[in-house]
Structure 1
Amino acid sequence: MTHFRNEAFILFIVVLVQYVYFMNDRLAHSSFPFLDGVPTPVNYPHLVTYLMGWYISIAASSFILLGHISDSLFDYGKYIILRGKSRFSWLMSKVIHMWRVVLVLVFSQLIVTTFFQTILDSDPVLELTHLFEGILFYVLTIMAILSIQMILELYMKSQLAFILTNCYVLLSITIVEGFVQKNVLFHVFFPNLSMSFRNGMIVNPSLQERIGQLNEPVLFLVVIILFLLCLSVIRIKKIELM
């Protein structure tokens, strides 16, 4: 529990830094800028600025869970399993912890953003519609990203899994800018689905890319999470612990 409190405190500090970053830039945002992401199309300097503001929290959650699977599995985890706890139960406890980290992150972002928006009485330039759906996209996308890191950690060192996962995230946001038809790419490079600029939640036709019906990307993200979980279960059952 102490370890989780430390993680929650770190995430809260990261969220404060993220909001200060948003306050200091002069780019257009909605009332919940952590949901906005990167507009499309966007020129390179603005892409970097928007991307860094959005990516701070993603990188923090990924870093906090660095080694969460592989390091603990081959350290104390194997003794817990060898003493009678099933591998599936052990893995599910780790997945639940991942969900807790993601929910603490998003809850902190909502609290910090709402607090400062209230005391500063700021008037956002862009209107964000369907707030609940936007948060749902954001939560599921982060969980899918962390699920990629989880499965990779079962095949390689945690540091390499962390690097590959974050490279995929950064590549996903930048690579779609070179294409006109982005719908399919938004699903192949699903981190784009978390961004209100790219999932149609921001009312500004010149700065967004609609992805169709809202339930389709939600279902897609859920399927990805479950698929990666199934792969992780299969993999952990094949790992030799001794």
Structure 2
Amino acid sequence: MIQNKKLFIFVLLSILIQSYLIYKSDMLYSSLPFTDGVPISPSFVIINRYLINWYLPVVAISFYISGYMEESLSKYGKFLIVRSYSKTLWVLNQFSKLVINLFLFASFQLISFWVGPFLEIRYSLDHLILLISLYYLTLLTLFCIQIYLELFLSQQLSLLIVNGYIILSIVISSSFSNGKTGGLLNYFLLPNFGMGLKNGLSSVNAFQPTNLNYLFCLIILITLIFIIVALTIRRFNRVDIL
């Protein structure tokens, strides 16, 4: 299940560092800071400080899943497929491992804040589930895109494109003068979907949220995940792995 133990530990360490940096910062955060994301602000200093704290585990996970399918294929994937193991089932198995690994990372983030200085969770259960689900599905969508791109491009270029898109999307959205600016453009900036300070689900109300509808965001993310998985299966079935 764990592709690379060293990188897996690296991701866990990045989460602990994120927890420490947020705890030591003087910025406004809710009781679940990793779901807050980056606020809309006219100050690039504020945007950059929030961005660094949020982005650290994300880029670590991106490195962890880089080459995810290629590495699995080189280890035992070809043998399984040659032995009449369906290509479709193999791809679905790889995505299921991504789902599990990402769940482990998100759970570790939750624990690292829950048992730390942010022990008091000021959310109802349904609000908490919605907030974490949006955060989780946003990351899952982005990393599914990265895996899909690797079927066409190199690992390094795919990683660079996805992370460049993440940073650019956050900076563009966070630089809007107010939450209503951008209109439909906000729905093309996927990384913001999982940010409580953008979707209005954070308990911090010092910043203006965007006009994102969190239920619409959920629908978009789930739809995109199914589409990307289907496209990946279609592409992989056309690839000669021998």
- Shift in Å at residue 157 of structure 1? 1.2
Q: Deviations over 1:123-175 (max 9, x none)?
A: 89xx6672221101000000000011011011111111111111111111012
Residue of structure 2 equivalent to 1:171: 168
Residue of structure 2 equivalent to 1:63: 63
Q: Deviations over 1:165-220 (max 9, x none)?
A: 11111111012224652342221011101111000012455403144543211111
Residue of structure 2 equivalent to 1:29: 29
Say which of 146, 149, 152 aligns to 2:143: 146
For the 8 Å contact 1:38–1:198, the answer to whether it is kept is yes
For the 8 Å contact 2:4–2:64, the answer to whether it is kept is no
Q: Deviations over 1:92-145 (max 9, x none)?
A: 111011111110111001111011126xx7x89xx6672221101000000000
Name the CA distance, whole Å, in 1 between partners of 2:241 and 2:8.
31
Residue of structure 2 equivalent to 1:181: 181
Name the CA distance, whole Å, in 1 between partners of 2:170 and 2:213.
21
Q: Deviations over 1:34-77 (max 9, x none)?
A: 11111113410111110011111111111111100234335642
Name the CA distance, whole Å, in 1 between partners of 2:221 and 2:183.
14
Say which of 122, 133, 137 aligns to 1:136: 133
Name the CA distance, whole Å, in 2 between partners of 1:112 and 1:205.
24
- Shift in Å at residue 79 of structure 1? 3.0
Which amino acid letter does the alignment assign opposite residue 157 of structure 2? L
Gap regions ≥5 residues in structure 2: none
Residue of structure 2 equivalent to 1:156: 153
Name the CA distance, whole Å, in 2 between partners of 1:178 and 1:197.
13
TM-score w.r.t. length of structure 2: 0.88
Residue of structure 2 equivalent to 1:238: 238
TM-score w.r.t. length of structure 1: 0.88
Name the CA distance, whole Å, in 2 between partners of 1:102 and 1:42.
33
Identity of aligned residues (%): 26
**CA distance 1:81–1:33, shift in 2 (3 Å):** same
Residue of structure 1 equivalent to 2:94: 94
User: What is the aligned-residue RMSD (CA, Å)?
Assistant: 2.3
For the 8 Å contact 1:40–1:207, the answer to whether it is kept is yes
Gap regions ≥5 residues in structure 1: none
Residue of structure 2 equivalent to 1:226: 226
For the 8 Å contact 1:15–1:57, the answer to whether it is kept is yes
For the 8 Å contact 2:145–2:162, the answer to whether it is kept is yes
SS at 1:207 equivalent: coil
Of 226-235 and 169-178, more deviation after overlay is shown by: 169-178
For the 8 Å contact 1:61–1:101, the answer to whether it is kept is no
For the 8 Å contact 1:147–1:228, the answer to whether it is kept is yes
For the 8 Å contact 2:35–2:132, the answer to whether it is kept is yes
Name the CA distance, whole Å, in 2 between partners of 1:183 and 1:138.
21
SS at 1:40 equivalent: coil
SS at 2:40 equivalent: coil
Name the CA distance, whole Å, in 1 between partners of 2:181 and 2:94.
38
Which amino acid letter does the alignment assign opposite residue 68 of structure 1? Y
For the 8 Å contact 1:35–1:196, the answer to whether it is kept is yes
SS at 2:73 equivalent: helix
Of 144-153 and 12-21, more deviation after overlay is shown by: 12-21
Name the CA distance, whole Å, in 1 between partners of 2:212 and 2:33.
22
